[in-house]
Amino acid sequence: MRKNEKEASPWRKAIGPGLLWAGAAIGVSHLVQSTRAGADYGFGLVGVVLLAHAFKFPFFEFGPRYAASTGQSLLHGYQRMGRWALWLFFGLSLLTMFSVVAAVTAVTAGILARVAGSDLPLEHWMLAIWLFSSVLVVWGKYGLIDKTVKAIVLALSVSAVAALVGALLHPAPAAAPGGSFGWTGADLAFLVAFVGWMPSAIDISVWHSAWTLAREEQTGYRPKLRESLADFHVGYWGTALMALVFLGLGAVVMHGSGQEFSPNGTAFAGQLIDLFTGGLGAWAYPVIALAALATMLSTALTCLDAYPRVMPLATRLLFPKVDAWVSPRGLELSWLALLVAGSWVLTHFFMTSMRFMVDLATTLSFLTAPVLGFLNLKAVQAEEVPLENRPSRGLVAFSWLSLAVLGLASLLYIAWWLTA
C-alpha cells in the first residue's frame, strides 16, 4: 500500500468499486442501446430507463452490501445456500460471458477502427483490444484498472454532457421531440435487449463484491457499510444519468433523420460519430470520438478484469482440489485465456453482425436477471450478514416486487418468442 493511500480519508479509500461498476455498465447499454432508443423512439423510452434502474436497484446494491458486511464476495453467499446456487451462477456465466465480451469488444473495435481511419478487418481490432486489455489486467492488477477506469469515466461524463448541451443549443433540423413505441415484434425485441443491459446485467453485482474486496486489499482499509453504499450510489445513479444523456443525444440529433443504424461495427461507429458531428458541428468530432472510445474501452477493460477475477473463485469453491493442480494466479490466467479464446471463436465463426451479437448478449442477460436477483436477495438475508446490515423491510418488499416484475417480463417474452 502506497503512502498517499495510507493518508487518504476513509471516504476516499472506499471510493473505487462503484466507479468500476459504472465503467462496466456504461458501455453497450448506453452508447449503442440508449442511443438507438433515442434515435428510434425519441424520448419515448425515458420511463423505461428509469424503471429499469429502479427495479434492478436492490440486486446491484446487495453486492457491495454483502461484501462490506461479511468480508467475502457474493459467491461465498451462493455457496452457503448450497452448491446448486453456485453451479447455477457458474453455468449462467459460462452461457453469457463469451457473448458479452464479444459484443462489447465488437462495438469498441468498430469505434476504434473508425477513429483510426483503418480498413483492417474488425476482428483484427478486436484481437488488439483483447491483447491490450489483457496486458493491463495481468500487469497492473486492481490498482491500475482502478485508476484507468476512473480517468475514463471522468472523460466520458464530461464529453457526453458537453455533447448533449451542444445538441440542445443547436438541435439538428430533422430532429423530432418525441417517439412512438408500436409494440411490433421488432419493437418488443429491441425493448428486451434494451432492458437486458439497462443499466447492466445482474451478474455484475458479483463483480462489484469482488472489486470491493480488492479495493480493501489495495488500501488496507475495510470500509463501513455506509461508505461502501455511498460509493455504490455514486456509480449507480451516475449510470442512470449517462443513460439519459445518450438517449437524449440520440433523440435530439438522430430521431427523425431517416437513417437506420448499420449492423456492421465500423459502419455503425461512422454513423454515430458523423450524425453527432453533423447535428452539432465539426467541433463535436473530438468530443464524440473521445466519449465513444472512453465508454467502450472502460467496459471492455472491466469485463476482462472481472470474469478472470470471479470465475477462478467460483472454480475453487466448486472444486477445492484444483489448488493442488494450479496456483491461484495460474487459474486466473487460464480463465483469462479461455475468455479471450472463446470470445474469438464466437466472433470468428458465429458473428453475423455487431447488432446480432449485442442483441444476443443483452437478451440472455434479460432472461437471467430474475434468477440472479433471487440469489442476491437470499444471500444478503443470510445469517452471516449482521442483522443491522441486512436490507430494511421496505427494501426487501420492493425486491420481491422487482423479482415479480422481472420474472413476469421474462416469461411473457419467452411465451411471445415461442408463438411468434
pLDDT in tens, 231-253: 999 989 989 998 998 898 888 87
Residue (of 5, 14, 9, 371) closest to 226 by Cα position: 14
Quick one: how many helices (H) and strands (E) in the chain?
A: 16, 0
pLDDT at 283 over 90: no
**Residue 263: per-residue pLDDT:** 65
* Mean pLDDT of the 399-412 span: 94
> Average pLDDT, stretch 112-128?
85
Question: Does position 2 have pLDDT exceeding 70, yes or no?
Answer: no
Choose the most confident range, by mean pLDDT, from 23-32, 102-111, 148-157, 357-366: 102-111
Average pLDDT for residues 174-180, to the nearest whole number? Answer: 51
pLDDT at 6 over 60: no
pLDDT (0 to 100) of residue 122: 82
Task: Report, as an integer, the average pLDDT of 209-229.
Answer: 88
pLDDT tier, 260 (very low <50, low <70, confident <90, very high otherwise):
low
348 compared with 274, residue with greater pLDDT: 348
pLDDT of 324 higher than 90: no
Residue 220, sorted as left (phi over 0), alpha (psi -120 to 50) or beta, turns out to be left
Q: What is the pLDDT of residue 301?
A: 87
Residue 30 has pLDDT above 70, yes or no: yes
User: Model confidence at 280, in pLDDT bands (50, 70, 90)?
Assistant: low
The better pLDDT of the pair 83, 269 is held by: 83
Mean pLDDT over the full length of the chain: 84
**276: Cα separation from own chain's centroid:** 23
Amino acid of residue 342: G
Q: 290 falls in which pLDDT band (50, 70, 90)?
A: confident
Residue pair 243/198 in contact by the 8 Å Cβ criterion: yes
Residue 199: cis peptide before it, omega within 30 degrees of 0? yes
Q: Which amino acid is at 70?
A: T
CA distance 105 to 391: 36
pLDDT at 27 exceeding the cut of 90: no
pLDDT at 364: 83
Q: How many residues does this entry show for the chain?
A: 420
Mean pLDDT of 307-327: 92
Q: Is the pLDDT of residue 345 over 80?
A: yes
Whether the pLDDT of residue 308 is over 60: the answer is yes
Instruction: State yes or no: pLDDT of 178 exceeds 50.
Output: no
Q: Is the pLDDT of residue 177 over 60?
A: no
Which is more confidently placed, 51 or 217?
51
* Closest among 271, 6, 38 to 177, alpha carbons compared: 38
Evaluate if residue 7 carries a pLDDT over 70: no
Distance (Å, whole) CA 106 – CA 395: 37
- For the stretch 121-156, pLDDT in tens is 888 999 999 998 898 888 867 777 777 777 777 777
pLDDT in tens, 361-399: 788 888 889 999 999 999 999 999 999 999 999 999 999
Question: What is the average per-residue pLDDT within 268-293?
Answer: 72
Region 96-103: mean pLDDT is 87
Residue predicted with more confidence, 30 or 93 = 93
Report the alpha-carbon distance of residue 29 to residue 303 in Å, rounded. Answer: 14
Alpha helices in 117-264 (DSSP H): 122-169, 185-196, 204-219, 225-249
- The arithmetic mean of pLDDT across residues 254-258, rounded, is 70
pLDDT band at 176 (very low <50, low <70, confident <90, very high): very low
% of the chain residues with pLDDT over 90: 38
The domains found in the chain, sorted by start residue, are: 3-419 (1.20.1740.10)
Identify the pLDDT of residue 175.
46
**Residue 267 cell numbers, joined:** 459502419
Grid cell in block for residue 230 = 455511498
